[in-house]
Amino acid sequence: MSDLVCPVCGKSNPNTVEVCQYCGASLKRSSAASGTSDLPGWLKDIRKSTNAEPAATPDTTRPAQPIEPAGAKDVPFPDFLAGLSNLSDEEDDESPDWLNNLRGVLPDPPLIYAAPSMPRPAQPPAASTEKPPEQPAAPPAENKVFEQLPAAQPQAEPQTPNTDWLKAFDLPDSSGSVGSDIPDAEIDPAIYADLPDWMASLAGLGGQSTPAQPEPSVFEQSPAPANEPVDWLSSLGGDFTAEDNFATSESSAPVAGETPDWMARMSSSQAESGTVQNQPEPDWLASLSSSAVESGGMPGAKEDLQSSALLGSDDWSGLRGSTPGVFDASEGNNPNPGVSALDETPDWITNLQGSDPVSYEPDTKGGSSPAVSPFGELPDWMTNLRDPAATLEKPDWLANLNSSTPDQTSSANIPQAAETPVTPLENDNSAWLANLGGSALDYKAPVSGQTLESGQPAPFADQPDWLSSLQNSQDASFGDNPKQNQPESHETSFRDEVPDWLTSLQGISTPVDSVPAQAQPEPQSISDWKSAPSVPDEALKPNEPQTQNQPFEPEDLEGFSIPGGTGELPDWLARVSQATAVENKPVQGQVPAATAPKTPRQQANESGQSMIGTGQPVRSEVPGLASESGNDQNIDSIFSMETPDWLSNFLPAASQPVSAPSEKDSTPNDLPAAELPSWVQALRPMESVVEETSDNDEPQNVENEGPLAGLRSVLPTQPGLTVAKAPRAYANELLINETQHAQSALLENLINSEKNPQLLPKRPKVSRIQPVRWTIAAVLLLVVFIFAGLGSNVFPSPATPGETSAVGMFLNTVGNLPDNAPVLVIMDYQPGFAGEMESALGPVLENLMNKKARLAFVSTSPVGGLMADRLLSKFSTSYSYQIGQQYVKLGYLPGGAGGIKVFADQPATTLGQDTRSGNLWDTPVLKDVTINSVTSLANFAAVIVATDNPDIGRLWIEQAQPVLGAKPMLMVVSAQAEPMIQPYFQSGQISGLVTGMEGGLLYESALGKSGQARTYWDAYSAALLVAELIIIIGGFWSLRAGLRARRAGQEQDEV
Amino acid sequence: MLSTISQTDLITGFLSFLFTLLILSYMVGDNPAFRMAVHIFTGVSAGYIVLVAFQAVVNMFAPLINGSSPDRFLLIFPLILSLLLFGKTSSRFEWMGRPVVAFMVGVGTAAVIGGAVLGTLFPQIMAASSMFDLHKTTGPVNAAGSLTAGVLVLIGTIVTLIYFQFTLFGKNKVTGKRGKLIGFISLIGQIFIVITLGVIFSGVLSAALAALVDRINSLILFIDHLLAFIA
C-alpha cells in the first residue's frame, strides 16, 4: 500500500482515496500525470520491469527508519523511481563498471572528515558515537549555517537566485544543526543495510568525521529558486523556465505547484504519510542519505553540499530526500515536519531521509550516533571505505583528497573555500527535485521566512545520488567555512556545465588549499569535472557584494586543480582530465583577462548563434539571467525536452565553443603544447613574421576557428585588397615607316605565295604517230631490203675523186707509201659502225695489202683489236696476212688523250709488251719502227686512224700528228665524224680522209674494184633518198601543222 | 662463197640475224626482246672489255719480268701508283688513290689542252688565215674561192661566236633583249650552227643508214647462207 501524494497540497493520501483528503484535489489524474507518458525511455523500461515484480515488496532486512512514518513502506514509490529503487536492490551487482571502479577509488570519507582515531565504519555505533577529537564540539554546521543565515546575507537573498532543491538540501542540514527536533536515535541505522558499502561508509564516516561547523545557509540567503530544473525533468514538468521558477520563488508559491504532478504527488503523499517509506531502496542510496545527514553536521558538509550543488547534479534526489529529513530534525521549527520534505520526496528518498538523523545525530550532539547504519550489512568495499585501515589501500590521490579536506577545514584557506557560493544549485534543478526542495522549504518556512517565501526548489537535480552524497559529505567540510554566505549566482554558469557525477567527485577531491587566493577566470567551456573544483575564491569570499545577475566568469575557475595532479587520478579519469585539459586550454585563452567575461549565452546572443550546439542550455537556467533572457529560458526548456540529465550534462563538454585565445592568456605556462599537426605548425608564421606583420598598418584578422586559429592575416580579409591597377595601354600599331611597311607587306606576300601551290605548265602531250613511224620504218626497210637483196647498181658510183679531194689525197698518200712499209692502223670505231667503217676502211686495207704493208693495229677501244680481226678476216682469203708476220695487234691503248700522248711519244714502252708473245716491237712487223733503239711513231710509214668518233679522231690528230712530223696521218671516218674532221683535212693536219660509204665507194672506184661499198651503195642510196624524202615530207607536215595552230590561235583571239 | 660458209658462220650469222630482229623490234616500242638484246650485248661487251683491259694492264707490267733493269726500275713507279689506286675502293684508304687520280687527271688535262692548242687551235687558225693568203693559191679562181671560203668561214666563225654572246650592255640591260645588230648577227650565227648541225645530222643519218644497210645486208646474207646451207 502506497500513498498518493496530492499534486495540489502535496500531502499524502491513502491509496484507496481518489480525492485528496486535505484539499480535495483529484488524485487519479495526478497519479496518471506522473505516469510513464513523460518519462524517459529508460525509466519506462525500468518501471515496466519493476511493475512486473511486486514493487511493494517490503524489505524485511531493512529496518524502519525512525523518522519515517509508519506507513512509509507502504507508500509507493514514484512511478519511475520505484523501478529504480527496486532495481537498486536487485541489481546492485549490475552497477556499471566505472561506478564500481569508482567505488574502489573514492576518497575515503574518514580521511576527509574523520580523525585518525575514527572508528571503523564497520562499527557503526562506535563510529557514530565517537567524535573526532580535533573536531570541536560545535553545533552542527547546518545549525550554524542557519543561525547565520539571516545575518549573513539577507540582502543577497533577493538577488541571488538559488535552486530550491539545493536549498532543500541545505535546509535540513541547517535545521538539523540548529536544533533538530528529530532525535538522533530516530535515525534508523537500518537504512544503511541496503546501501552500497562505499556509500554507506561515506555516510557513516561523514557523519563521524565532519565536525559541525557554522555554515551559512545559502538557502536562506538566497531566494532559492527552483527555476532551473533538469532538462528532461523540466520537460516533464512542462514549460518550466527559470524565469517562472524565479517568479514562483518570489511569490512564495508552493513549490509543489511548480513541480511536475508526479513529483508533487510524491512529495505530498510522503508529507502526508509522515512516515519514511521502508520501500526497498538501494543500499547506496540509504547509506548516502545517512552520510548526507551525518555530513550535514560536519563543518565541511555544507561546503560539500554546495560544491555538489555547484556541479549541478541531478541524481542525488535520494540524498536530497534524506536531507530534508535532516533539515526537519535540525530545524525544529518546521511546523509540519511530516509534510515539509518527506511529503514531496519519493518513498525511497524518504527512507533516506530517515537515515539523515542517524547520521546527523553525532554531529549535532558531538558524539557517536547510535543509529548509525549497520555497517555489518555494508558491502565489503564500502566497509573498507569505512575502515580507516582500508585507507591504506587507497590510491594516493584519494588519500591526498581525503587528507586535504581536513586541511582545508582547518587551514586558513578554509574561509576562502567557504566563499564558494552556493547559488549554482539553482541551475540544474529539476522540477521534481525542485519540488523536493520546495517541500524542504515548506518545512523550513517557519525557520526562515524568506526562504519559504522564495520557495526555491533544491537544485541538486543533475547530480547522481552517490555523488551527491559525496558532495553532501564534502559540504560538511565546507560547512566549517564561515564565509559561505556568498551569492550563488557567480557559480551558476560553470556549475551548469559540470557533469553531475564528476562534479561531485571534484567536490570531494578538490582541496580548498588549492584554491588560489585570487580566482582567475576559467573558460566556461571547461569540462564539468574540472570546472567543479575551480570555484572562484572571490566567489567564496563572504559578504562580498556581488550582483545577482553577474554571470559566471571563467577567471573564477582558474587556480583550481585537482590535488595531486592527474598523476594521482585513476587512469581513466586522468585521461579524461588530460583530454579535458587539452580542450580547455584554448578555451581558457579565449576569455581575455582584462575584459569582462561573457557567458556563452551572452556570446551566443551577440553572435547570434544558437546555444543548442554549444551544449549550454543549463546556462539559461541561471536565475540571474532569467530576467534578462526569458525567451532563452523558454528555448532552453524546449531544448531540454526528453533529455536525461546525464546526457544533458555531457553536452557542454562535448561541444564547447572555441574562441580565439588571447595572447595574454595563452602563456606557455597555462597552455600545453598545441597538438596541431606538423603541417599546420609548419604553416604557422614565425613570431618575427607575426610581429612584423603586426606592425603593419594593414588590418590583421585573427583566425578564430579551425587549425588556423590564432594566426593572423592568413586569409585576406577582403578578396580584392590588392591594388588593382589598370593595365598599361600599349599601342597595337607598330611605328614603322612606309618602307618598312612595304617590306613587311612584300615579305608577307612572299610567304603567302609559298603557301599557294603553283600549277606547273602542262607538258605538251606528244602524240605518237605509230603508223607514221611504222610507215617510215617499213619504207626504209623495204627500200634497203629491195636494193640490198637485189644487189642492184641502180645508183651509180660517184665520180672519181679529185686529187685535191680528201679521198684523192688519201689515195695519193697510200699510193706513196713504200711497199712492206710499217703502217700503224688505229682501229677506234664501234661494232655498230662496222658496216660503214668496213666499207670505207676495207678498200684502204686492201690497198695496203696490195703494197704488203706491215700492219700494226692499235686501238683506244677494247674492241679495236676485234674489229681488226674481223676486217682482216674479210681479206684473209685474198691476202695471206698472218698475225706476227704481216700484222700485229699492239692491243688496247688506255688513258685517252694521255695514253695517246704517251703512245705517240714512247710507243714501245706503252704497248707491244705481251707476256705470251713477248715484245711486239721486236717482231718483223715492227722491226723498222725502232730505229737506233728508238721506237717512235714517226718511224711508221703512215698512221691511219679509222674512227667513227670525231673526238677520237681529233685526239689522235692533236696528240699523234705532231709526233708524226712528216709522216702522213690518214683518217678513215664515219660520215657523222666527217664534219668535225674535215677542218683538219683542210688544215693539212691529216693527209687524206675517207668518209663513210661514199668515201669507201670512191676509194674502191679509184682502185677499180667493186667492194662492199658498192654492195651497199644502192641500198644505202635508196635509203638515203627515202630518208631525205621523209625529212622533206615531214618538214612540210610540220610547217602545215604550225600554220594551222597559229591560224587557230588567231581565230580564237579574234573571237 | 656460199659453199664456204661454215657452221660457225651459220651460227654467228643466226645469232646476228636474231639479235638484229630483236633490236629492230624497237620500231614498235620498248619490248622485252629489245631489252634482252641490249642486255646481252652489254654483258658480252663488258666481259670482253674486262678481259682485254686486264690483259692490257698485265702486259703493261711485262717488262718487270722480261725487261731490262731500267725498264723494271721505271715500272716501279707506275706499279706503286697502280697499287695506291686500289685504295679508292675503300673509304678508309681512299686517300691513297687521290694522288694517283690527280696525277692522271693532270696528265690527261695537260695532254688534251696541249693537244687542243697545238693540234687544233693553232692549226685551225693557221688554216683559216691561209684562206686569205692569196699567195698560196694558184689562180684567181682558187684565190677567190679560197677567199670566199675564208670569208664565209670567218663570218661563220664570228657570227657563231657572237651568237653565244649573251651579255647585254647599255639600254639592252633594261629590256633584257639583244640589240638589233647583235640579234641579227646572232641570227646568222644560228644559221651557221643549224647548217653545221644539219651536216652533222646528215652524217649521222648516213652512218645510220649505212648501218641499216649493213644489217639488212647481213640478214640477207644469212638468209642466203641459210638457204644455201639448206640446199
A349 vs A232, A437, A848, CA distance in Å? 20, 13, 170
**Nearest CB partner across the interface for B115, out of A915, A958, A976:** A958
H or E element at residue A934: strand A934-935
Q: What is residue B43's predicted lDDT score, i.e. its pLDDT? A: 92
Proportion of chain A above pLDDT 70, given as a percent: 35
CB contact under 8 A, A975 and B207: yes
What mean pLDDT is predicted for residues B68-82? 82
The answer to which of A396-410, A987-1001, A1019-1033 has the lowest mean pLDDT is: A396-410
Per-residue DSSP letters for A813-841?
A: HHHHSPTT-EEEEEEE--GGGHHHHHHHH
Contact A960, A828 (CB under 8 A): no
Residues 957-996 of A with CB under 8 A from B: 957-959, 961-962, 974-980, 983-984, 986-989, 995-996
The amino acid present at A611, given as its one-letter code, is M
Letter string b/e over residues A371-407, b meaning 16 or more CB atoms within 10 A of that residue's CB: bbbbbebbbebbbbbbbbebbeebbebbbbbbbbbbb
The C-alpha cell at A133 is 577529537
A472 and A304 in contact (C-beta within 8 Å)?
A: yes
Q: Do A913 and B119 touch (CB under 8 A)?
A: no
Range list of β-strands (E), A937-1045: 942-947, 969-973, 992-995
Answer positive or negative: Cα dihedral of B197, B199, B203, B209.
positive
With beta carbons less than 8 A apart as the criterion, state whether A841 and A875 touch.
no
Kindly state whether B120 is in contact with chain A, defined as any CB-CB distance less than 8 angstroms. yes
- Mean pLDDT is lowest, of A46-50, A82-86, A418-422, A1019-1023, for A418-422
Mutation target among B31, B66, B154, B212 for the A interface, most CBs of A within 10 A:
B212
Q: What 3-state DSSP class applies to A451?
A: helix
Residue percentage of chain A with pLDDT more than 90: 1
A57 Ramachandran zone, left/alpha/beta (phi>0; psi -120 to 50): beta
Q: Looking at the predicted structure, is the pLDDT value of residue A348 above 70? A: no
Closest CA to A519 of A413, A606, A624: A413
For residues A458 and A270, the answer to whether their CB atoms sit within 8 Å is: no
Angle CA B95–B101–B103, to nearest 5: 115
Residues A181-208: tens digit of each pLDDT:
444 444 454 555 555 555 555 544 444 4
Q: Which amino acid is at A892?
A: Y
pLDDT band at A240 (very low <50, low <70, confident <90, very high): very low
Cα–Cα distances (Å) from B169 to A213, A483, B176, B181, in that order, read: 143, 135, 9, 13
**Are A214 and A140 within 8 A, CB to CB?**
no
Q: Which cell goes with A1035? A: 618538214
Q: What is the pLDDT of residues A856-888, one digit of tens each?
A: 888 888 888 888 888 888 887 788 888 888 888
Mutate to test the interface with A, among B58, B213, B222 (most CBs of A within 10 A): B213
d(CA B145, CA A217): 171
pLDDT tens sequence across A935-962? 778 888 888 999 988 888 888 888 888 8
Report the DSSP beta bridge partners of residue A945: A826, A971
CB A908 within 8 A of CB A916: no
Taking the CA of residue A610 as centre, how many other CA atoms within 13 Å lie in the half-sphere pointing to its CB? 6
Q: What is the pLDDT of residue A629?
A: 44
User: Residues 352 to 391 of A: which have CB under 8 A from any B CB?
Assistant: none
Task: Give just the sign of the alpha carbon dihedral B183, B189, B193, B194.
Answer: positive
DSSP line for A711-755: -BSSS-SSTT-S--PPPPP--SS----HHHHHHHHHHHHHHHHHH
In the prediction, which pLDDT does A18 show? 76
CA–CA min distance A836, chain B (Å): 5
Domain boundaries, chain B: 145-231
Using CB atoms, pick whichever of B24, B71, B212 lies closest to residue A1023.
Answer: B212
- C-alpha A258/C-alpha A274 separation (Å) is 22
Q: How far apart are CA A308 and CA B30, in angstroms?
A: 127
pLDDT band at A512 (very low <50, low <70, confident <90, very high): very low
Question: Does residue A342 have a pLDDT over 50?
Answer: no
| Contact criterion met (CB < 8 Å) for A975 and B216 | no
The C-alpha torsion from A71 through A72 and A75 to A81, rounded to 10°, is -170
B49 part of contact set with chain A, CB < 8 Å: yes
CA separation for the pair A371, A191 (Å, rounded)? 9
Q: Which of A835, A898, A955 sits opposite B211 (nearest CB)?
A: A835
Measured between CB atoms, does B230 come within 8 Å of chain A?
no
- Whether B227 and chain A come into contact, CB under 8 Å, resolves to no
Mutation choice for A interface testing from B16, B216, B219, B227 by most A CBs within 10 A: B216
Query: How does pLDDT run across A891-936, given as a tens digit for each residue?
Result: 888 888 888 888 888 888 788 777 677 777 878 888 777 777 777 7
Q: What angle do CA B205, A810, A1019 make, to 5 degrees?
A: 30
* pLDDT, mean of residues A1031-1039: 90
Shortest CA gap A792–chain B (Å): 13
Task: Tell me how far CA of residue A997 lies from CA of A247, A811, B136, in angstroms.
Answer: 158, 16, 32
Give the Cα separation of A575 and A572 in Å (integer): 5
- Alpha-carbon distance values, A814 to A631, A845, A852 (Å): 155, 10, 12
Eight-state DSSP code of residue A959: I
Domains of chain A by range and CATH? 100-492 (no CATH), 806-1017 (3.40.50)
The mean pLDDT value for A453-471 works out to 49
Which residue of B5, B206, B218 is the best one to mutate when testing the A interface, meaning the one whose CB has the most A CBs within 10 A?
B206
Q: Which of residues 51-70 of B touch A (CB under 8 A)?
A: 52-53, 55-60, 62-63, 65-67
Whether A962 sits inside 8 A of B214 (CB atoms) is no
- Decide if A639 contacts A631 (C-beta within 8 A): no
Picking from A127-141, A644-658, B215-229, which range would have the lowest pLDDT averaged per residue? A127-141
What's phi and psi for A325, nearest 5 deg? -60, -40
- Min Cα distance A1055 → chain B (Å) is 31
Contact A184, A370 (CB under 8 A): yes
More confident residue, A719 or A821: A821
Task: Render pLDDT for A125-182 as a digit per residue (tens, 0 to 9).
Answer: 433 444 444 444 444 444 444 444 444 444 444 444 444 444 444 444 444 444 344 4
What residue spans of A387-464 are helical by DSSP H?
396-410, 414-418, 431-444, 449-454
Residue A466: the pLDDT is 58
Provide the grid cell at A539: 566567489
List all residues 6 or more positions away from A17 whose beta carbon is below 8 Å from its beta carbon.
Answer: A4, A27
Distance CA A133, CA A366 (A): 10
Q: Grid coordinates in use for A550?
A: 553577474
Residue with cell 533544491: A458
Q: Which residue of B has its CA nearest to A1000?
A: B210
DSSP letter at A135 equals: S
Query: What pLDDT is attached to residue A669?
Result: 54
Query: If 0-12 CB within 10 Å is exposed, 13-18 middle and 19+ buried, where does residue A795 land?
Result: middle
Q: Which grid coordinates are listed for A618?
A: 543549463
- Partner-chain contact B206 A988, CB within 8 Å: no
Helix (H, G, I), strand (E, B) or coil at A946: strand
How confident is the model over A394-405, as pLDDT tens digits? Answer: 455 555 555 444
3-class DSSP state of A333: coil
Question: DSSP string covering chain B, please?
Answer: -GGG--HHHHHHHHHHHHHHHHHHGGGG-S-HHHHHHHHHHHHHHHHHHHHHHHHHHHHHTTHHHHS-HHHHHHHHHHHHHHHHHGGGGSSTTHHHHHHHHHHHHHHHHHHHHHHHIIIIIHHHHHHHHHTT-TTSS-SHHHHHHHHHHHHHHHHHHHHHHHHT-----TTHHHHTS--HHHHHHHHHHHHHHHHHHHHHHHHHHHHHHHHHHHHHHHHHHHHHHHHHHH-
Q: Is the pLDDT of residue A252 over 50?
A: no
Q: How far apart are CA A359 and CA A207, in angstroms?
A: 5
C-beta atoms of B213 and A984 within 8 A: no
